[in-house]
Amino acid sequence: MNQNFTNTCITNQLEPSARFVASAVVYGLVLVIGLPLNTVSLWILLRSHGLRSPCAVLMVNLAASDLLLALSLPLRVYFYATLQWPLGAVSCAGAIMLFRINIRTSSIFITLISLDRMVALVFPLRSRSLRTSACALKSCALVWILITILSIPETLKIHGSLKNCAHMPCFEFQVQQNASQTPSILQALFLLILLVVNVVSTVVVVVVLQRRPNAGATKVNNKMNVVLIFLVNMLVFTVFFLPFTLQLLAYKKDDFDRKVLRSLICLASVNCCLDPLIYYFSLDSFWQDKGKKQTDAGTYSLSRSMDRS
């Protein structure tokens, strides 16, 4: 049954539907799987690899972003399971923006990992001065700061729209009909740019591996892992981010588009369960203690660049 909306507020209580149940189930599964998976991944990354290479720095930040996303999901599970929000507009706006910030930072860190792997393979020597832990730390800090600052006006706008609602719609709030679509379009275009960067990086790496089997200073002994990194990145973007992005561009603010967008946002959260595959394929010694790492095998763009950069 369609709900009645006045601006961003609902005029009557939300009624149970299959979409709400499915959302609660999906968010719950992502929480149950993603929280321990990313906690363990972050612990292994910090314990075994630390912040001694650019790739490790990027992956630690990606794991932290995914972990924060998972930590924001209990509120979504509660809301979609009960269709009630007793915590007020401030907590609702904060929960919405925490989720959005982590989706955005996650997509950026995945792209930076692709760029790092590509540059390490194509320009192994010339890139060493640029591919340092210090540069990676500065880049990650810049990403967190910029995304957070840019999200502040959005957070204030959401809070202002919800603070006078008699029935708090929270994660189901309706964008006002006269609201500008420019922010959504800019976000969609930004995600499309990140997708293009990932596609180009993947194509370049595949071509280089085909034409230069001995690319880099060390022979590439495990091409499959190299390719799998980019395939996982492409999978995350095409399955979880691209549908959401295209819907942002086509969004018409009607009831059907609103339901589709909410469903695709739910789908986008699943990406945090797949990101640990990136760590596994990127680090030949992911499960090994840093004192027991291999120093002679692996690809230049993977294990050698992890230990030397």
- Residue boundaries of the structural domains of the chain: 5-308
Instruction: Tell me if the pTM is above 0.75.
Output: yes
Question: Are 14 and 169 contacting, i.e. CB atoms less than 8 angstroms apart?
Answer: yes
Count Cα neighbours of 157 within 13 Å in the Cβ-side half-sphere: 13
Task: Tell me the per-residue pLDDT of 187-245, one tens digit each, with 9 for 90 and over.
Answer: 888 889 999 999 999 899 888 888 766 554 444 446 777 778 888 888 888 898 888 88
Checking if the pLDDT of 304 tops 60, the result is no
Question: Are 34 and 278 contacting, i.e. CB atoms less than 8 angstroms apart?
Answer: no
Two tokens, residue 255: 């009831």
Distance of CA 286 to the CA centre of its chain: 21
Q: Per CATH, which fold does 5-308 belong to?
A: Rhopdopsin 7-helix transmembrane proteins (1.20.1070)
The amino acid present at 226, given as its one-letter code, is V
Checking if the pLDDT of 289 tops 50, the result is no
pLDDT of residue 303: 41
Choose among 59, 67, 64: nearest CA to 113.
Answer: 59
Choose among 117, 63, 125: nearest CA to 227.
Answer: 117
Of residues 168 and 296, the one with the higher pLDDT is 168
What percent of the chain has pLDDT above 70?
78
Distance of CA 10 to CAs 193, 255, 305, Å?
Answer: 35, 13, 54
R_g of the chain, CA atoms, integer Å: 21
Mean pLDDT across the chain, nearest whole number?
A: 80
The single-letter DSSP state of residue 292 is G
Choose among 53, 202, 197, 59: nearest CA to 121.
Answer: 202
Could you give the CA distance from residue 306 to residue 49 in angstroms, rounded to a whole number?
Answer: 8
